Amino acid sequence: MSTAETLLEDLVSASRILADQGICDAFGHVSVRNPDNPGTYFLSRARAPQLVTRQDIMEFSLDGRPVGDDERKPFLERFIHGCIYAARPDVHSVVHSHSRSVIPFSISPSKLRPVIHSCATIGHDVPVWDAQDVFGDTNLLVSSEAMGRDFAKSLGKGRSALMRGHGSTVVGATIREAVYTAVYLEVNADLQIKASALGPITFLTPGEIDRIQARLADGKPGEGYDRAWEYWCQNARVDSSA
């Protein structure tokens, strides 16, 4: 298969994995930048991630317009993806979800920070974007380019960001990295909530975070993102060979 076709198969697998891992339910979505045209990206039509197939994938320009004559219903919040790709040339995959342990950190003063080595990919800082600050009362969905650009500004150069009373978005240099970070953002939130009941938390240091991220980025066969991907594909009953 061509590189683009392989990525589209991975995109379908990513949707199934995120559903199987409880990161997405009927809602949430994952995209990948077009390797042959960085000014477009691939994202499923509006459909529950567990049900996404290769035939559901649509192509969009960075302003959220479907490429060609595709008239299928797109995700309303596709602007999250396009605006991040426009702002971040280093990003090649985006995951948006509403995983439940993460939500409390978007509506409380507690900052979400890495507490365990496997969660270092969430980044040094996980900002909280509040639509209210710029747009006033909304339905909290990122439903326009203006909102998408403002959220991308809040994400900055980071790997993950929360949306107040809504959910979270993570990015990666690859689909596998973005999926890994989305899964472990939820893991970190759950562990941090549990640890907070026991007393002060010892968080990872900035140096530890940098070293762990560098090791995972090495991309050695059978390690890091690939090992997790193979395991999650098995659980979700999708092909890990793509």
User: Among all residues, which ones are annotated catalytic?
Assistant: 77
Q: Residue 184: helix, strand or coil by DSSP?
A: helix
Q: What is the DSSP letter of 110?
A: P
Between residues 221 and 157, which one has the greater pLDDT?
157
pLDDT of 225: 93
Q: Give, for 170, the enclosing helix (H) or strand (E).
A: strand 167-172
pLDDT of 204: 98
Distance from C-alpha of 84 to C-alpha of 137, rounded to nearest angstrom: 23
| Segment 21-41 mean pLDDT | 97
Indicate the pLDDT class of residue 173, thresholds 50, 70 and 90.
Answer: very high
Distance from C-alpha of 234 to C-alpha of 241, rounded to nearest angstrom: 11
Residue 239 has pLDDT above 90, yes or no: no
Averaged pLDDT score across all residues of the chain: 95
Half-sphere exposure of 109 (CA within 13 A, CB side): 0
| Segment 36-45 mean pLDDT | 97
| Segment 193-201 mean pLDDT | 97
Between residues 223 and 68, which one has the greater pLDDT?
68
Residue 138 has pLDDT above 70, yes or no: yes
pLDDT of 238: 85
Look at residues 210, 224, 83 and name the one whose alpha carbon lies nearest to residue 155: 83
pLDDT of 241: 61
pLDDT of 217: 84
In whole angstroms, how far apart are CA 120 and each of 81, 181, 185, 196, 227?
Answer: 23, 9, 9, 18, 16
Cβ-contact 23, 183 below 8 angstroms: yes
pLDDT of 88: 98
pLDDT of 221: 60
**Order of all β-strands in the sheet with 128-129:** 57-61, 40-44, 29-33, 93-97, 167-172, 160-163, 128-129
CA-based radius of gyration for the chain: 17
pLDDT one-digit tens code per residue, 81-94: 999 999 999 999 99
Indicate the pLDDT class of residue 118, thresholds 50, 70 and 90.
Answer: very high
Strand partners, 172: 93
